[in-house]
Structure 1
Amino acid sequence: MQAVELFAGAGGLGMGVSQAGFKPVKIVEWDRWCCDTINENRRNKIRPVSAWPEPIHGDVRSVDFSSFEGKVSLVSGGPPCQPFSLGGKHKAHADKRDMWGEAVRAVREIKPDAFIFENVKGLTRAAFASYKLYIELQLQYPEIHPAADENWDDHLRRLERHHTKTKGGANYEGLRYTLLAEVLNAANYGVPQRRERIVFVGFRSDLDIEWNFPAPTHSNDALLWEQCRSNTYWDRHKASLGERTVDARALSKAQLLREKPLTKAWRTVRDAICDLPEPTSAHASKILNHRFQAGAKSYPGHTGSPLDEPAKTLKAGVHGVPGGENMLTRADGSVRYFTVRESARLQTFPDTYELHGSWSEAMRQLGNAVPVDLAAVVAKDVAKHLKATTRSNA
């Protein structure tokens, strides 16, 4: 099954899509450093990017997708999230970086069997409610595009009228997609990071596919059980008694658990990086992208990620890197910045994957990325349903 990847970034979503069995035939990314990262790993034959075409370095607005009509199973991508990020300026549709219209255009021109798009949780804020609805209706009816002189809110009203007139699309014979959008916490799917993203998944309506988002496989309750009830977490890490600390709030919650949860435990920072040497050690130089970065400081609102919890959401920052989200807090209260390799592990990138650029540049790429494992969970389920439909229609 072939795929087109938009706004590829450092490749997190694309790698998850590839792991699901999709083969990218076109990749588009405007950022030079991200293209350098992808190309370096292609040259180094790092799977799965070794099988990718060379990314198009340029503006997606100049790319014609019509040659892929009827040939591509999946369109995926993460339209730039800064217009909706809690760390950004919240301009939404007024932000020149808002590329949702280009994502819809790609769907309109390619007419894929399905699409997967993702964005920051900030898009679900009440202030963006109308624009989120606008995105959803455009994705459901991509052929009803805005007129040359039509602003976005007038186009939204026209889409709303169309949606109600056709009874949710039931009486519409044009290109239509059934759409689900849900906020997923990456920690609930085995990623060692509390990272919430809204994911949009659509299937072309003529395929008549019934689908739901995959159920969570990991939970905080299961982690608390291992840390506070069975102690298997601490035993597994051979942690000393002094290290076995859980805050009072978590301990109180653990005491309410009556039986072991059926899910797996949330993965923690310690789970992710415990086998890596300290970045100040002599052995660190042998690890790709594992270099010490000085200057970490802790103060209120800037406290880092505790070692024995999933990491806070890694962030890209507007100018450089915000240290609070990208610091490790040890059991003794000391802090240091995560290395690029540690951050890559928190985003479930493979250890062989090299991030190009300085520490701040590499961290920016990772802060904007989709965790590979989260992308793979969603994409594998989409692929399974597409393959089942193909078999049933054969």
Structure 2
Amino acid sequence: MANELRVIEICAGAGGQALGLERAGFGHELAVELDVNALNTLRHNRPTWHVALGDVADTAVWKPSDYSPSARGEAIDLLAGGVPCPPFSIAGKQLGAGDERDLFAWAVEQAAVIQPRAVLLENVRGLSMPRFAGYRQHVLERFREFGYVAEWRLLHASDFGVPQLRPRFVLVAMKPDDFAHFHWPTPFGEVTTVGQALLSLMSANGWKGAANWAARANHIGPTIVGGSKKHGGADLGPTRAKRAWAALGVDGRGVANDAPHEDDNFEIGPKLTCEMVARLQGWSPEFPWEFTGKKTSVYRQIGNAFPPPVAYELGMALASALQRTSQSRVVDEVPDVDPIYRALKTSGKFLTAAQLMKISGVILDGPEFDRRIDLLNRDFEILKQTRKTELVYKLGSFRAFTGQADHFRHEYLRASLSKVS
């Protein structure tokens, strides 16, 4: 398909989402990435692309306003990206807006600056948890204020031909007339197993045990984990993941340089090569890509990527909506994620627990109400006062980085930029 649509991709990584979107018909106006190794891979594969190295929120790296309709003469079709996952990861502390690496809220704000026809942002499953209900509601509210309809969906890579579970929480936002033509990708119905995906690579050096191994590896794999610069070399994740890989006949305690040789024998099974890990992420002869750098860096680039086949399916759905080639539908009003947050935001004043529950239509007992307020307070300043012996609550400022010059994120980057991944 000709590149008729234009995309700006932030936090582009080594190009998983970029390749999928390109295959779906999106030409890259700009790709921005912080990690030099990942950027080198992007440049190696697409030397003609305009790519920028550095903190995506640094206006010295790029200026979002340069890509607005007033600056370009027409709107960018898509703003896309996979912003850092640690603020929302179940395996982490789930600090959300309090995490200096959080760029999700900042990315949302760029929709008002760039005014793209569509926005595609993806992150880990943790963002879908109750812990972040208020955060998600804030995102929906901001898009509504900017004139977009926004919707979340949890997608599993295994539903789209990728032989690993890899759940990703995806946000799509579009102007109402375009969103009426948007349909989430339909799962394939059949899954590809680890054995099916890797048999040709496992037998590349004539390993006699390849066929038996593939029969054992007759399931989808755990989520590939890329890790970060703070941790050691390449392996397939924490202990629980290694046990799951062992059940498939894979030694997850490292990454091999070569496929097994003819008479090799293994206690657990062979280790995967970076090429094999890339195949499990969805890179294949259909989605060709070459990675540059040393083994550990390459493994991290692959493991932290968005699977190209999933990006392709999303890109096709977006392209169909933007080009109005898909059927129109009646768009239902997106339900509130957190009615308590919505009540606080709408009122703009101090309210008692009883008043908040009446406005939101949610009835909670005392401990559960306190828990919900505590969760909100992690991402927003919740002001409290005592009036006539009763606590009242008011929504204060959002704690996340949205571009503030005095935000604590700036000091973190100055001190730790070499460790950020």
**TM (normalized to structure 2)?**
0.62
Which of these residues, 213, 216, 227, is aligned with residue 317 of structure 1?
A: 227
Matched with 2:82 is 78
User: Cα distance, 1:88 vs. partner?
Assistant: 2.6
1:57 pairs with one of 53, 57, 62: 53
| Identity among equivalent pairs (%) | 31
Which secondary structure does the structure 1 equivalent of 2:324 belong to? Answer: helix
Which residue in the other structure is 1:295 paired with?
none
Aligned partner of 1:237 in structure 2 is none
Could you report, residue by residue, the CA deviation over 1:71-103 in whole angstroms, capped at 9, with x for unpaired residues? 311111011111111233322111111001321
Cα offset, 1:183, TM superposition = 0.3
- Partner residue of 2:283 out of 349, 354, 357: 349
Task: Kindly indicate whether the alpha-carbon contact (under 8 Å) linking 1:5 and 1:24 is maintained by their aligned counterparts in 2.
Answer: yes
Number of paired residues?
A: 283
Give the alignment partner of residue 340 of structure 1, picking from 274, 281, 284.
Answer: 274
Equivalent residue number for residue 385 of structure 1: 321
Matched residues in 2 for 1:139 and 1:34: separation? 30
Choose which of 230, 246, 249 in structure 2 pairs with 1:330: 249
2:199 to 269, 274, 296: 274
Are 1:87 and 2:128 matched, yes or no? no
How far off is 1:390 after superposition? 11
State the SS of the aligned residue for 1:72.
coil
Listed as ranges, the gaps of 5+ residues in structure 1 are 44-50, 142-174, 219-264, 284-305
Task: Give matches, 1:204-283, under 5 Å.
Answer: 204-207=175-178, 209-218=180-189, 265-277=190-202, 281=205
Shift of the 140–340 alpha-carbon distance from structure 1 to 2, 3 Å rule, reads farther
Aligned counterparts of 1:41 and 1:207: Cα–Cα separation in 2: 32
Equivalent-residue separation in structure 2 for 1:42 and 1:210 (angstroms): 31
Rate the CA distance shift 1:361–1:204 in 2: closer, same or farther, 3 A: same
- What runs of 5+ residues in structure 2 fail to find an aligned partner? 70-74, 208-215, 251-265, 329-421
User: What amino acid is aligned across from residue 357 of structure 1 in structure 2?
Assistant: G
- Per-residue CA deviation, residues 38-91 of structure 1 (Å, 9 max, x unaligned), is 112224xxxxxxx532x1001111231122223311111011111111233322
CA distance in 1, matches of 2:133, 2:107: 19
CA deviation after TM superposition for structure 1 residue 105, in Å: 2.8
Q: Is the 8 A contact 1:193 1:347 kept in 2?
A: yes
**TM superposition shift of 1:389:** 7.0
For the 8 Å contact 1:84–1:123, the answer to whether it is kept is: yes
> Are the aligned partners of 2:182 and 2:320 in contact in 1 as well (CA < 8 Å)?
no
* Cα drift, residue 13 of structure 1: 0.9
Q: 1: CA distance between counterparts of 2:120 and 2:179?
A: 17
SS, match of residue 276 in structure 1: helix
1:125-164 superposed matches below 5 A:
125-141=129-145
Structure 2 distance, partners of 1:314, 1:109, is 34
| Matches for 1:120-199 after TM superposition, within 5 Å | 120-141=124-145, 175-199=146-170
Q: Is the 1:15–1:372 contact (alpha carbons within 8 Å) kept by the matching residues of 2? A: yes
Contact 1:74–1:113, Cα closer than 8 Å, also in 2 = yes
CA contact (8 A) 1:209 1:389 kept: no
| Match of residue 16 from structure 2 | 12
Native 8 Å contact 1:60 1:102 kept in 2 = no
Cα distance, 1:313 vs structure 2 = 0.3
Aligned counterpart for 2:45 among listed residues 22, 35, 41: 41
Whether the aligned pair in 2 keeps the contact of 1:270 and 1:307 (CA below 8 Å) is: yes
Following superposition, the deviation at residue 123 of structure 1 comes to 0.8
CA separation of 1:11 and 1:95: change in aligned 2, threshold 3 A? same
Runs of 4+ off more than 6 Å: 389-392
Query: Does the aligned pair in 2 maintain the 1:29–1:59 contact within 8 Å?
Result: yes
Whole-angstrom CA distance in 1 between matches of 2:82 and 2:22: 15
Does 2:125 match 1:118?
no
Report the equivalent of 1:308: 218
Shift of 1:207: 4.0
Q: Structure 2 counterpart of 1:314, which letter? A: I
